[in-house]
Homo-oligomer: A and B are copies of this chain.
């Protein structure tokens, strides 16, 4: 672990706080670890997966159903909520937890990525970013401070700073300039008072350049955030490159802080990223694929729309203990998806979330037992083999 940069600087203006994160176990054969992350809405057992609730709802899932999956934290998005319904609306109803009826923890992404990918006419300066809403064209201006303050008003537990995401095809000078600005914005963000119960993470960028990733991780580590996200991966590059960048970045981050790999990925990939020492994950795959009739299992993906399931009385996965697999046949699920019935999307989504959270539970158990590395490697390969079959 490279942590030398952490104590060289004293740029963090806030008084040091006790870390909300406690490592409880380390795997014998990998960098995998178990931890507990305290929030005002429960303590999160890591490694874990955060279902995606971009607009204040995990698509098609009631909060009570989400609790049943074992999810302890969900991911929402400050950019989307600020445009619709508006942060003032959520605040008026009592904050995002109350608004969406979710008592567990909430992490919000700042929306830096969405400003870059969705908004029109954006113009970035050191001060902040000007852009037009992708919904109604309204002209808006965001500063790093306003982005943090907006998340405080939403009342969430873990906050992300505004960062500048650039395309992987960008010129190295563009990547460097974006990194410099992202670090400056991180420093400004860290000066905003968020309250003792809230945790502002740093976000490491650096494109597909290992040296830049290391440098940026060290710069952010110096700010002494209570946790670190790794952004800008799994956005189109080859899976091997994603892994390499993820490994380099994890190793460059403080080992005593939670590491969140943003927007990643397939179950077999998550098993491998856990082995690198990542603790938190989010991804749209279980929910989006569920809506399209694709389900995840330990043997690879199952496409419920295929004709071969038309008379199949078996569940998605006969070893799965989830409520969908206990009650419904592939034949029924195929019928629902074929008939365009929304219950099909709901049930496949539920199964997928149960699978992702179950994968995390099993991973934690293996780390605690000390034999994670071999188990995860065999499981990941088996899933990959299933996909090729």
Interface set of A (CB-CB < 8 Å, partner B): 55-64, 84-85, 89, 92-94, 99-101, 310-311, 313, 323, 327-329, 331-332, 334-336, 338-339, 341-343, 345-347
Contacts and interface: CB of A to CB of B under 8 A. Distances in A.
Nearest to A310: B89
B63 A339 contact: no
Contacts of A329: 93, 99
A311 B92 contact: yes
Contacts of A341: 55, 57, 59
Given A92-B311, A101-B327, A331-B93, A59 B338 contact: no
Given A93-B311, A93-B313, A341-B57, A100 B332 contact: yes
Nearest to A313: B93
Contact of A89 (B56, B58, B61, B335): B335
A100 B344 CA distance: 11
Given A327-B101, A332-B100, A313 B59 contact: no
A331 B323 CA distance: 30
Given A93-B332, A331-B92, A85 B310 contact: yes
B59 A332 contact: no
Nearest to A98: B329
30 contacts: A55-B335, A56-B332, A57-B341, A57-B343, A58-B343, A59-B342, A59-B343, A60-B343, A60-B346, A62-B343, A62-B346, A62-B347, A63-B327, A64-B323, A85-B310, A85-B331, A85-B338, A85-B339, A89-B310, A89-B335, A92-B311, A92-B313, A93-B313, A93-B329, A93-B331, A93-B332, A99-B331, A101-B327, A101-B328, A342-B345
B84 A335 contact: yes
Nearest to A102: B327
A361 to B, nearest CB: 23
A327 to B, nearest CB: 5
A311 B87 CA distance: 11
Contacts of A310: 85, 89
A57 B336 CA distance: 8
A347 B310 CA distance: 30
Residue from A94, A311, A313, A347 whose CB has the most chain B CB atoms within 10 Å:
A311
A85 B334 CA distance: 9
6 closest A-B pairs by CB? A85-B335, A57-B343, A101-B327, A55-B339, A60-B342, A92-B311
A94 to B, nearest CB: 7
Contacts of A336: 55-57
